[in-house]
Amino acid sequence: MQLGFWGGTGTEGSGLAMRFAQAGARALIGSRSLERAQAAAQRCNQILGAALVEGAENPALLERCEVVFLTLPADKAVAAVSAANNLLRPGLILVDVTAPVAFRDGRVEYLQPDAGSNSEAIAARLPRGVELAAAFKTVPAHLLSNLTSPLECDVFVCGDSKAAKEKVIALAGLIPSLRVLDAGGLRTAQILERMTVLAIELNRRYKSKEARFRIVGVHP
């Protein structure tokens, strides 16, 4: 299966593409520019030491992939999904990774969307037959991109489509050193997006780039 990373030229998307490629999946990085997509794929392949990642323009990515990770800036993702609506085919699974945060006066803030969360705002704009799950919102880009560091954290997957959620849980489980937890319906994205804010605040206070989460007391 080919996994797409819409806006995968950024650190989060490239990091995920490399982690999945390393785990045996075919990864396709998408961009508004073919040159940027190919350059990002080349950078990933240099790090991986093998030609495992390809680049494509975002519309080609939507045509070629059955599962597409949304790794655009959070404040651009809703508009991008709306604009690409005619390219979103029934059966496509979108995985929303976005977390709407902003930095003001050196502090991080959650920009709560009217829909409750960015994931719910995106879900409301999807054509019938396209399913959405949210995942990886709390996994730091810096760490994903550093392939020599084990992730050693939990990844929370939530969504209202059982089939999409199960697919994403199975995919996330391919990445070693991640524990995958089913975090319930899509409304949980409201919590996960805020958890990202907490991780950023902890990074700031403790001068780190790697704050992430591990839940104790549950044994999936």
Q: Which one of the spans 17-25, 30-38, 59-67, 155-163 is the region binding ligand NAP (CB under 6 A)?
A: 30-38
Residue closer to ligand NAP (CB basis): 104 or 219? 104
Long-range contacts of 40-46 (CB under 8 A, 24+ apart): 40/8, 40/9, 40/14, 41/17, 43/14, 44/14, 44/17, 44/18
- Show contacts with ligand NAP in window 70-99 (CB under 6 A): 71-74, 76, 80, 97-99
Is position 119 an interface residue for ligand NAP (rule: CB under 6 A)?
A: no
Nearest distance from C-beta of residue 46 to ligand NAP, angstroms: 18
Is position 168 an interface residue for ligand NAP (rule: CB under 6 A)?
A: no
Is position 36 an interface residue for ligand NAP (rule: CB under 6 A)?
A: yes
Contacts of 34 (CB under 8 A, 6+ apart): 55, 56, 57
State CA 186 to chain mean position distance.
15
Q: Which one of the spans 31-39, 47-55, 87-95, 120-128 is the region binding ligand NAP (CB under 6 A)?
A: 31-39
Residue closer to ligand NAP (CB basis): 95 or 169? 95
* Separation in Å, CA 89 to CA 26, 82, 98, 142: 20, 13, 21, 32
Q: Which residue is nearest to ligand NAP (CB)?
A: 10
Is position 11 an interface residue for ligand NAP (rule: CB under 6 A)?
A: yes
- Can you tell me the distance from the alpha carbon of 168 to that of 18, in angstroms, rounded to the nearest whole number? 17
- Can you tell me the distance from the alpha carbon of 106 to that of 219, in angstroms, rounded to the nearest whole number? 38
At residue 141's C-alpha, the angle toward residues 33 and 156, to 5°, is: 115
* Separation in Å, CA 57 to CA 5, 7, 31, 41, 93: 11, 9, 5, 12, 18
Residue closer to ligand NAP (CB basis): 10 or 159? 10
Is position 42 an interface residue for ligand NAP (rule: CB under 6 A)?
A: no
Nearest distance from C-beta of residue 32 to ligand NAP, angstroms: 4
Which residues contribute to the site for ligand NAP (CB under 6 A)?
7, 9-13, 31-33, 36, 71-74, 76, 80, 97-99, 137, 139-141, 196
